[in-house]
Structure 1
Amino acid sequence: MSKRLGKGLDALLPALSIGDDDKIVEIPLSQLRPNPYQPRRTFHDESINELAASIKEHGIIQPIIVRSVLKGYEIIAGERRFRASQVCGLATITAVIKKFSDQQVMEIALIENLQREDLNAMEIAIAYQALIDQFSLTQEELSVKVGKSRSHIANFLRLLQLPEEIKQYVSRGTLSMGHAKAIIGLKDTKTIKALAELAIKEQWSVRELEEEVKRLEEKSDNKKATSTKSKRKDPYINELEENLREMYRTTVKIKHNNNKGKIELLYYSKDDLDRLLELLQGKIS
């Protein structure tokens, strides 16, 4: 993943640095709450425990960044350090209090995780959609902010269309984003789930899954073509219908199956029926 950021987000990075005028304080952990806009949904215990071990030995080297909110403080940057401090059983943590808007908080959380390449594909998709919804951004505007192409944004947002079960596979890393993209265009939910489970069971590469999707699509196209072809009328029957239409001056339909069938002549009034009966009787007599 490229670490290039758009000017909109890049401009926020200096605001996260600690200046000479910033006051470093000790804040009770009980007064802190996680960033509600944190895009990362999963914090791995192993990683947190490793950080906790480092904090026990060296302490908090880099203060966390917080903002003041009702009844305490909200973490802007440093949630892993906060969680690790909880594991250590610390009562307080060093922090710098800054002022940020809700939009800046969301964007900073996204920056922090994108730069560490710390988010899975579903977390990125959810974060992008949250920014779009919360601040009425277009995909183009968001692409400028995060320094990514519009197609990059669109590809991640498409993941949100997947069935919930498949989203969980992507979140856990059971399926890659490449696997998800291979099946996302399919319309049938059952087929999507079946292919996803088969890909996991058989440990298919993205290429193998793409080939299976292509095979199923070709099979479906051939089935449709065969069905359409079977519905086409025999040219001989078409010619008979045309001749009978001219003879009786009405709509004629010939329906047949396995050499058996029926001929339908349509009439539109009692006089029209009498006319057809006279013609038929004349042909029969």
Structure 2
Amino acid sequence: MAAAKKGGLGKGLDSLITNKVGATGTTDAVRIPEPDKEVIFVKITKVEPNREQPRKNFDEDSLLELSESLKQYGILQPLLVQDKKDYFEIIAGERRWRAAKMAGLKEIPVIIKKLSEQEIVEISLIENIQRENLNPIEEALAFKRLLNEFHLKQDEVAERVSKSRTAVTNSMRLLKLDERVQQMVVDDMISTGHARALLAISENDKQYNLAQQIFDEKLSVRETEKLVKKLQNQKPELPKKAEEDKMSLFYEDMEQRLKSIMGTKVAIHYKNKDKGKIEIEYYSNDELERIIELFQSIHQTKI
């Protein structure tokens, strides 16, 4: 297995584990002088993952590759676990545990730690960041948990994972995306650059439709930013049908008002909002005379 990355993370997990453990499968414990760092072998069936750990997705091909390595060399880095009386819960090393099960190992090396819930989350997060195992959404959710559950500030979270506050803030902004778009990020259908550009679109359906367009047309981040800007500059327009319905209701009202004045059926035929014609029906010469007299009386009243 590749060595853990240490860039910017200070001592990180390497400060917790100083010795390597071979693949013999022996039950002999390797003694480490520092307190709380004794490596022991336990049955793999007594070890279970932490359901609250940040990482949720594991690449099956990568696990299979690691399991083949474990068959030859064993687990070179013990798992960190906490004692839950009936079983050991993984703090760090779930990927190694999964690969060990695939490799058919019966026992695995562990270090039992006594840690607070906050420390467990931090260690799990750091381990995954070191190995670049988390997808952007998993990472953002882990940061959010540190903020909400343990009441840390963003700069405190940034300090613990050796990232800038801006990086933590930008990561958590991804959680404002529509859930369907978040899943597209998880599935590598769009990049975090595309996702950040989509944050400017407030309507979920528009956001998701645009994400689909990015994927289908293989748009670059720059092309996406231009498209988002173009959409933002467009003035909202009423749908054509809605506009027609609005005009129809207006002229129906006008027809009723004219009908009450004329005392007969009146129809308004409009070409657009400024032009049209009025059709007045009559059913006898006497009624026609009455309508003409009505217009004359209106005209005389104005004079």
Q: TM class, shorter-chain normalised?
A: 0.7 to 0.9
Say if 1:12 and 1:92 are closer, same or farther in 2 by CA, change over 3 A.
Answer: closer
Please tell me whether the aligned partners of residues 200 and 228 of structure 2 are also in contact (alpha carbons under 8 angstroms). Answer: no
Distance 2:12 2:209 in 1: 45
Q: Please list the CA deviations of residues 243-269 of structure 1 after superposition, one character each: whole Å capped at 9, or x if unmatched.
A: xxxxxxxxxxxxxx7389xxxxxxxxx
CA distance in 1, matches of 2:225, 2:6: 25
Contact 2:13 2:127 in 1 (8 A): no
What is the letter of the counterpart of residue 109 of structure 1? S
Cα deviations by residue, 1:210-251 (Å, 9 ceiling, x for unpaired): 111111112237x69xxxxxxxxxxxxxxxxxxxxxxxxxxx
> In the TM superposition, what are the counterparts of 1:123-134 in structure 2 within 5 Å?
123-134=138-149
Instruction: State the alpha-carbon separation in 2 of the partners of residues 73 and 166 from structure 1.
Output: 36
Post-superposition shift, 1:141?
Answer: 2.4
In structure 1, list runs of 5 or more residues that go unmatched. Answer: 225-256, 261-282
Letter matched to residue 129 of structure 1: K
The percent identity for this pair of structures is 37
1:217-236 map, 5 Å:
217-220=232-235
Quote the offset at 1:138 in angstroms.
2.1
* AA at the equivalent of 1:4: G
Q: Residue 20 of structure 1 aligns with which residue?
A: 33
* Corresponding residue for residue 135 of structure 2: 120
Mapping 1:101-112, distance limit 5 Å? 101-112=116-127
Corresponding residue for 1:258? Answer: 274
When normalised by structure 1's length, the TM-score is 0.72
Residue pair 1:39, 1:109 contacting (<8 A) in 2 also: yes
Instruction: Give the corresponding residue for 2:93.
Output: 78
**Cα offsets for 1:142-189 (capped at 9, x unmatched):** 223223232222211111111111111001111110000001121111
- 2:7 aligned counterpart, secondary structure: coil
1:159 touches 1:180 (CA, 8 Å); kept in 2?
Answer: yes
Deviation, structure 1 residue 81: 1.4
Task: Output the TM-score relative to the length of structure 2.
Answer: 0.68
CA distance in 1, matches of 2:117, 2:17: 15
**Structure (1 or 2) with the greater helix fraction:** 1
Contact 1:32 1:73 in 2 (8 A): yes
Gaps of 5+ in 2: 20-31, 239-272, 277-300
Q: Which runs of 4+ in 1 moved over 6 A?
A: none
Aligned residue in 1 for 2:7? 3
Candidates 54, 57, 61, aligned match of 1:42: 57
Which residue in 2 is equivalent to 1:164? 179
Computed over aligned residues only, the root mean square deviation of the Cα atoms, in angstroms, reads: 2.5
Deviation at 1:26, TM superposition (A): 1.5
Q: How far apart are residue 16 of structure 1 and its match? A: 4.2
Of the three residues 110, 116, 129, the one matched with 1:95 is 110
